[in-house]
Structure formats: structure tokens, C-alpha cells
Structure 1
């Protein structure tokens, strides 16, 4: 089992409840120390207390089991808006929000995420034809065709 998988399993044991989930675990070198970055999220939003509890519990277990031999920095946070959506659960959490999807073929789609199905997501997009009013249409995008999806921030 890789170091990343080991840490991910430890994190999953220390999540506050079933509404919380692991988004990503990264281990990299930073200024001569290893840096462990753990991104977690929750179906109904994540608070700083949950991040602090996970950080303490994971840190204690990493130390007790001596998993990282060298000095390290442990960072636990939410993915933030600039981090791409990587799981169906993240897509599900963002239904009703506008997202920008970059496709494997280089194309892009923007629209409101309306549903998440087993093999695809559905976006409500606005298509404007020359000289006509914009028309809304639903577009299905297969997960295997999605390269990257990010939530668009609205200041309205």
C-alpha cells in the first residue's frame, strides 16, 4: 500500500461522521520537509472545527505509528473553489451551482449543474443563436469525457 493510501485510510477513520469525505491526499517535499496536504469536504459544508479535529487525530496516529520518518508539515482544509471537482459526491453537493467543464477533446461547457447520474452530469446551458433570444437546453456530459470541472463564483 502506498503512503498516500495509508494516510487516506487514517483520515477516513477520523472523519467526524458519514457526511464528511476525503477529496484528496498529497505528500510532497517542501523546504526540506515533507508536506502532507489533506483535503476533506462535507455534504452540508465544512467548518474549521472539523478540520482541526481531523488534523489532531491524524497527526497523533501518524506519530504513534511512525509512518513518516522525517519531519513533516500537516495541512487539513477544504478544497476551496479553485480546486476541481473530482468525485460524484462533490458534483452532487454542487447541484444548482454554475460550473465550467473542460472536456477531454478541448471543448468547454458552462451552465447550471442540474443532476448527477451514474455515468454523466446534466448541465442547463444557454445557447444564443444569431439575432434570437438565448434558449436554455440540457446537455449531458459523460464522466469519462470530463477533463476538469470547476465551480464558478457568482457575485450577484
Structure 2
């Protein structure tokens, strides 16, 4: 699966870049007959995508995948922004989101721990990620040893991220009050 995801990333990344987006994650999951190809991208300046951005990227990806046909089975294509409690997939993500709470799952335990939760403290020159783990202090792990990582939804994260637009929000608010 990792090899196929790498191939898909090679095909999808140029399409995202052509639209001015950074590719955050390409993930294929599910079994035969129920596969989903999840593509997360963002605008570098806002770290978000609009619905129109998602539609544009989805069309470009569909065209390329229809032509190259790298996936044997049927699948659903899901294109989205990474969201507020986003996955951290690139080394730069750990630096960009320094000061925010995250959960890091390691491929193998370090000091008897496979999961680290705490405030990100950034990255080091040797491609290590540093996190302040409550009760354990600063912990550094090589980026390559991270199986997965994501930001945790906190008031601090909500305050640091602003929606691109709140247009139409009042419509939903009045519907809920009826």
C-alpha cells in the first residue's frame, strides 16, 4: 500500500502545485469494493481550501488518474483541506504548528512510550521533532520514527485558526434557533 500511495503522490502533487496548493496527505484506505483515496491539500497562505478549490483539484486529479489508472479496484476520491485538527505529515508541519498540542504515534517505542502527547516545540537540524510531554519534559524523536501525528483540538488552536469566510453562518444559526 505504501508503494501505491507513493506513486499516487507522484501523480497528484504536480496537479496540486499547478493550482498553487501544497499537498498535505495522500492516503488510500479500505478494502476491495470500498476503497477511498483521500487527498488533503491547502493554500500555503491560509492553510485551508475552499469548496471551489476542492472541486478544481478533484477534477484535475480525476483526469490524471483516469489517464494513468494506477488503482486496480473501484474507489471514491475524497479531496479536502486538512481541517483544524489536521494530520502532521511533513517535517515543516511540526515547526509551523510549534506551541500547539499534538499527539504523535511512534513506529516503535522510545523510552517505553509509543505515544507522545504535548505541546510541539519545533524541529532540530537533524530532522528531529521535539515535543514537551507533560510529566516527562522535552522529548525529541527522529521524524522517520513517527508513524502518525495530528494536532489536538484546543481553545488555543481554535483561536489561532480563522475560517476563510463566515458568510452564511448566520443562516444556519437562525435555522437552529427555530
- Per the normalisation by structure 1, the TM-score is 0.68
What is the CA RMSD across the aligned residues, in angstroms? 3.2
Instruction: Supply the distance in 2 between the matched residues of 1:10 and 1:86 (Cα, whole angstroms).
Output: 18
Once the two structures are TM-superposed, the CA of residue 70 in structure 1 deviates from its matched residue by 5.2
Structure 1 stretch displaced more, 86-95 or 6-15 = 86-95
Match of 1:86 in 2: 89
Q: Is 1:72–2:72 an aligned residue pair?
A: no
Match of 1:24 in 2: 26
Instruction: Supply the distance in 2 between the matched residues of 1:91 and 1:151 (Cα, whole angstroms).
Output: 10
Q: Is 1:7–2:15 an aligned residue pair?
A: no
Structure 2 unaligned runs (5+)? Answer: 157-178
Match of 1:52 in 2: 55
In terms of fraction of residues, the more strand-rich structure is: 1
The one-character-per-residue Cα deviations of 1:70-115 (angstroms, maximum 9, x if unpaired) are: 5432111234456642321221231121223345232654432222
Match of 1:98 in 2: 101
Query: How many residue pairs align between the two structures?
Result: 144
- Per the normalisation by structure 2, the TM-score is 0.61
| Structure 1 residues 82 and 140: alpha-carbon distance in aligned structure 2, compared to 1, 3 A threshold | same
Structure 1 unaligned runs (5+)? Answer: 128-136
Match of 2:150 in 1: 150
In terms of fraction of residues, the more helix-rich structure is: 2
The one-character-per-residue Cα deviations of 1:8-55 (angstroms, maximum 9, x if unpaired) are: 1121111123x612423315436x354322233454412133322221
Instruction: Supply the distance in 2 between the matched residues of 1:115 and 1:5 (Cα, whole angstroms).
Output: 26
